[in-house]
Every structure is written in C-alpha cells, then in structure tokens.
Amino acid sequence: MKKKQSSEGDRFKGPSKWCGYVFARGLASLIQWMPLSVAFRLGRGVGWLSWKLMKGRRSTVRKNLEIVNAWMEESGTVESRKVESLDEQVREVFQRSGANLLAGFPLSRLRPEQMEQHLEIEGMEHAREVLKQGKGVIMLLAHMGPWEVLAHVPKLAADHGVHAPFGAMYRPLNNTYLDNWVREQRAARNTQLFSRRDGLHVPVDFLRAGGMLGILADQKMREGCQVPYFGVKVGSTPIPGLFHRRSGAPLLALSIETIGFTKWRLTVDTVDLSTVGPKPSRDELATVCNQALEQVFVRSLCDGFWFHKRF
C-alpha cells in the first residue's frame, strides 16, 4: 500500500520547525522592544563584525560594487554618497545592512505618526496619479533599507492621500509556524500576501480591482530574462512585466535610503515606459524594470543588499 504523500504544509511542520519558530519569534520580540537607537547601533556593530569575519561575503560584495561603480563611471552617473573608496563602501554595506535589519524590528511596532519622525516620504503623488487609471499599481521593490517599513505602507500611503489595498508577492518560508505568523502580522497591517501557490490570476485580479502590488524585482533568476543590469546581462525576473501585460497596471519604483542616524527616506518614482511599444516583449519590460532599479540603487548604493552573486 502506497504511503500518502505529505502536503507541503506537513513537510514544514514538526518539533524542529516548532523550536525554530519559538526561537525566531522570541528573538524578534526581544529586538522589537529595544529602543530604536540601540537596535541601530547594535546592527552597525554586528555588521562591522560580519565584515571582519565573513571573507567570502566581503569578496562577493566587493565584486558587485566594482561592477556597479564601473557602470556609474561609464554612464556618467554621480551617486550621492559620502563614502568614496571601494573598501569603505564594502564595509558600509555590511554596517548599514546590519543597522537596517535590526532597526526594522522596533520600527515595525511604532505607530505611523511615530514612524514619520524617522521616515521622510516623497513621491506619493505619483501613486495618487496613476491610481486614477483604475488599473492598480505594480510597485517595484528592491532589497534595501529596513524592510519592515513596507508593512506600514498601507497606512503611510493613506496618510498621504493614497487609498488602495496593498499586497505583496513573497516566497513562503520553509517553516509553516513561522510562515503563518508572518502572514498574520502582515494581515494585521492590511497587507495581503501572494505567492506562486496562488497562481497568476489571483494577484492579477487584485491589480485589476485597483490594488497596489509590491514585487521584489532585483532578484537574480537563472531562468529569467537575460537583459542588461548595470551593464551586464543577467537573469532578471519577468514577473513585474508579466503582470503589467496581463493587467495593464502602471509601474512605479519604491526605495528606502538611509539619510542619517535612525532616519530614512522612502521615495516613490515613476517608471518610464515610453521606450517600449504598446505590446512590449518580456525582455523589453524586464529591461525597463532593471533601468528603474539602477536609478534606485544609484541614489543610495550602500543601502543595497549586495551579499549574493548578482552578476
């Protein structure tokens, strides 16, 4: 008699997964109730220690930044950074990533009015304008800044006159208990999560109903579109372009950059689609998305998460 195949949910359950969930939730709660300034300083310290000890990651970050800096020099793009040398950039990426990661937890528990003491918001008028088309909005996201701020986007957007349901594409965690907890946290802040399990039609219907859908667009994909990114052809996600073609939703880009001690700026930028025709190909749309991401990272290169081999 054949054994029943366990469901994906069952595969990611069990005592070890439960212990991992309890540990992760306890650690997150501990950091969450730290003063923001303490978490920020601690994060920079952890980042500095990681920079000293993680030689392999240090090399990966350096190679990524070499390519990006070379592209900026060739294109005549000037990045508004204080860090000049490549070695300083590499160290700052580690320290800033640590600060962004840990500071994100206490940031997530702040009320929106408290958060705005630490967060400047620019460009929400672009979202207000494109939502008038009634096709929803695809928001290109990058791995940068304190990601937990994104959970507050629905309320922050509403405070700036942008009234639309907010959703995000995400990859389910391989721990059912932890995954359910994350989904509950996002739902409590009016963020609907979608994954590949939902297929294409569910998030597309969400867009057609006037929703704002966030998609991490800077991930390297082996089977993605091979298009230029900082001057190098790399596998790039076709998903934002695919959703645009299915729904007609316009594209915007959202970035979060560090502008001071426990201070960040969230910016919404337009994405120029004038270079493509009325029926653009997957590669054309992926190229446009990469160009938008290039401008996002050039604004604050050291806020990027450059720890994986992107090129």
Alpha-carbon torsion, ordered 232, 233, 235, 236, to 10 deg: 80
Question: Is the confidence at residue 74, as pLDDT, over 50?
Answer: yes
Q: Where are the beta strands (DSSP E) in 128-284?
A: 137-141, 166-169, 191-194, 212-216, 220-229, 232-236, 251-260, 263-270
- For residue 184, the model assigns a pLDDT of 87
The pLDDT confidence band at residue 8, using thresholds 50, 70 and 90, is low
Question: If you average pLDDT over every residue of the chain, what do you get?
Answer: 90
Greater confidence (116 vs 286) lies with: 286
pLDDT digits (tens, 9 = 90+) for 172-196: 888 889 888 888 888 878 889 998 8
Q: Any bridge partners for residue 192, and if so which? A: 167
Give the chain's radius of gyration (CA, Å).
20
Q: How confident is the model at residue 78 (pLDDT cuts 50, 70, 90)?
A: low
Residue (of 282, 247, 255) closest to 126 by Cα position: 255
113 pLDDT higher than 90: no
> What average pLDDT does the segment 79-90 reach?
72
Q: Which two tokens stand for residue 196?
A: 């590949």
Q: Which two tokens stand for residue 265?
A: 């700026």
Alpha helix ranges (H) inside 12-111: 15-32, 36-53, 55-75, 86-109
Structure tokens belonging to residue 309: 């081999």
Model confidence at 291, in pLDDT bands (50, 70, 90)?
Answer: very high
